[in-house]
Amino acid sequence: MNATTTILDLIGGTPLLPLRRLGPPGGARILLKVESQNPTGSMKDRMALAMIEAAEADFRLPAGGAVVEYTGGSTGVSLALVCAVKGHPLHIVTSDAFSQEKLDHMRILGAELDVIRSEDGRMTEKLTKDMIARADVIAGRTGAYWTDQMKNTDQLAAYTVLAREIWEQTQGRVDAFVQSVGTAASLRGTGEALRALNPGVRLVAVEPAESAVLSGGPAGAHKIDGIGAGYVVPLWRADLPDAIEPVSTEAAKAMALRLAREEGLFAGTSTGANVVAALREAQRLGPDATIVTMMCDTGMKYLKTFGGVPARPAA
């Protein structure tokens, strides 16, 4: 039996699965990168480890030094895991707009939470900027290392690795990559690396229809965890994507439920948004194409979000 050193060694190397029932007739093949197989059940494990290890390597973060971050949840859980293993105290600024399961998970892993009240449980530009401002104050007061995920380019290295995994798993056959935009790092890092391997790869960005700022629309409120900050984020590259697909919260949630019931894949609403956009792209590209999109995390992080879902009607 081969043993690993720590749980952090289990980050990455996730499977790539084809959608069997949800693909449109005559449409492209859609492959889902199952990031729920990471230790905390989220793709954010990759970027959290990359940010912390880069800061340790150049001594921005000393041994035992404290870390602070603002987050909608998954990044916070992933940082909590990494910091617990590496011995860094962690202070998280978050909000009641995000799933209670994520907040509980962060606390269980040892993070200290500062929870900001939201507007009716919805994500807005003001909430994002309030969280950032609070993290800035805490970092200045305590001297903690601020990972500052909206601006941190150290995380891009994690997505270069992700792109290589996708390339190897598809034997170099990737016609399009579809990914929702939070910090924009996953679309940018993965997309840039895939384009370096094949300049013809189509890149499709996904954002909440209620706050389609990347498409030039006004900022608004939505309930898709982890994406749609409400403003054009610093890591966004407008020249990178070939298309931007707005997807509503309602459509994203409905697709997440279809994924669970028709494919046995229980994921969150950002994954639902990804699949909605990938299905649209599949119709455009036709049967000879292969599209890769992300199962960003496990639906176990959103049990209360999906609470009260009606059962299937009796036959």
Burial level of 161, CB count in 10 A (0-12/13-18/19+)? middle
Prediction pTM value: 0.93
Number of Cα atoms under 13 Å in the Cβ half of residue 261: 10
| Domain shared by 241 and 293, yes or no | yes
Q: 125 vs 201, which has greater pLDDT?
A: 201
The whole-number pLDDT of residue 312 equals 58
E strands present in the chain: 16-18, 29-34, 67-70, 90-95, 112-116, 145-146, 176-180, 202-208, 243-247, 290-295
What total number of domains does the chain contain? 2
The whole-number pLDDT of residue 2 equals 62
Q: How far apart are the first and last CA of the chain?
A: 48
Q: Band the pLDDT of 168: cuts 50, 70, 90.
A: very high
Nearest to 162 by CA among 5, 16, 3: 16
The whole-number pLDDT of residue 255 equals 97
| Domain shared by 178 and 252, yes or no | yes
CA distance 209 to 123: 13
pLDDT above 70 as % of the chain: 96
Length of the chain equals 315
Q: Band the pLDDT of 315: cuts 50, 70, 90.
A: very low
| Domain shared by 83 and 142, yes or no | yes
CA distance 82 to 48: 7
The whole-number pLDDT of residue 105 equals 94
Domain ranges, residue 180: 7-37+159-302
| Domain shared by 210 and 167, yes or no | yes
* Residue 42: pLDDT over 60: yes
Give domain status of residue 48, yes or no: yes
pLDDT above 90 as % of the chain: 85
The whole-number pLDDT of residue 226 equals 87
188 neighbors 156 (Cβ within 8 angstroms): yes
Q: Indicate which residues carry an active-site annotation.
A: 44, 270
Which residues touch 312 (CB under 8 Å, ≥6 apart)?
A: 261
Q: Band the pLDDT of 121: cuts 50, 70, 90.
A: confident
CB atoms within 10 A of CB 51: 28
The whole-number pLDDT of residue 309 equals 60
